[in-house]
Structure 1
């Protein structure tokens, strides 16, 4: 039995109550309609990377893979060192790592500011400290690992914009930190949402996020995900 079958808890009671497959209800995080970023990056490069941490990387990766302009979204670890960048070690909550997703995107199609809007709107709940939905621990914290001063400026500006607007009832706890290293997760974690759409954790916690992306950002939604693993013919 492969490791991912021991991966996450889920909510049997919700499933027993009759969860509606694919509907944006009973998710760990609900969608919030947020304003676009007032401050954004100028379009300079054809390809840019950004790293997002917002709980279990299965759902974070799954959402960004369905965003137009995203070339790849890789599940991995950020915030710690290379020698502790493994799922078993990160799961102890003692490594400094957060489950993260490295997003490579074309800023002429989707800006960093728009990715932030999606991240805070449908990917996760930025008011949960060191947890997301059923998952607890610092490895599930909300964080933006920035790769440039410009990304930091846009990220901090957007968080302040949301705070001033009172977008959330509770304080935003998202960290903004420089990216010191990103370490891809094990292959069995890649494309997990697409490969295992009936896995109970995915059904309860992550498929509603895809539906919410479709509802809140219809012009940015792509039906075919940008997968990491290549299908063998």
Structure 2
């Protein structure tokens, strides 16, 4: 298994199992196109920015996918669901903080709608029928959850989950939760843009590059070849 210098460095900092674990495929883990949402946000007529926070397993892959989506201006890895003083990697990794590894997706609804982002989320990034884990990663910190900041976002997300369940888009009921956002805490700098910076890392090759490739294949109209990386943004606009 080929490891980049950055991955080798992280191997000394992070649990070895997280870096090197082999993927275990579940029934609905292979990316596949699900139906478009019947209920979505009204189309925006002028550029503006909104955000949605998504949890779907390790944030490396979720961030890597949404950095390649047209209309997304930033995808920032972080932690959601717990207290501010426990929002750091080693503590979250214990699974005892209430936090989930998450990605704050900031987007222009004049270019991409919330419903389109959620369709990508369910089609490409995760197996939504798994409650506490994705790929080789197990624990509540890897749960599937959509964190909303308005009644409109909650309505779109809940309606879409009900629609996909009714259509039997997956082989089991969707376990993804929809909850109000009460705080998002950016992850450490070494987690940001991890997929873009380490495409040859063993974990990324096995678990996350197939998701990026699926995005390009299943959503060509939403695909952006040039990722919107956190490191390319001015420091004042990060977070």
Q: Give the alignment's TM-score, normalised by structure 2.
A: 0.87
Partner-residue secondary structure (3-state), 1:140: strand
Structure 2 unpaired stretches of 5+: 1-7, 235-239
- Is the CA contact 2:36–2:116 (under 8 Å) kept in the aligned structure 1? yes
Out of 55, 66, 70, the residue aligned to residue 64 of structure 1 is 66
Partner of 2:5: none
Partners of 1:222 and 1:150 in 2: how far apart? 27
Pairwise mapping of residues 10-21 of structure 1 onto structure 2 (< 5 A)?
10-11=20-21
The alpha carbon displacement at 1:4 in A equals: 5.3
SS in 1 for 2:61: helix
The Cα offsets for residues 1-59 of structure 1, whole Å up to 9 and x where unpaired, read as 74455351435699xxxxxxxxxx99x93112111110011245711000000000000
How many residue pairs are counted as aligned between the two chains?
221
Partner Cα distance (2:68, 2:11) in 1: 22
Answering whether residue 216 of structure 2 is matched by residue 206 of structure 1, we say: no
Check the 8 A contact 1:53/1:101 in 2, yes or no: yes
CA change 1:184–1:219 in 2 (3 A) is same
31-40 or 201-210, which moves further after superposition? 31-40
Say whether the 8 Å CA contact 2:23–2:206 is kept in structure 1.
Answer: no
Structure 1 consecutive aligned stretches of length 4 or more whose deviation exceeds 6 Å = none
Identify unmatched segments of 5+ residues in structure 1. 15-24
The one of 137, 147, 150 equivalent to 2:149 is 147
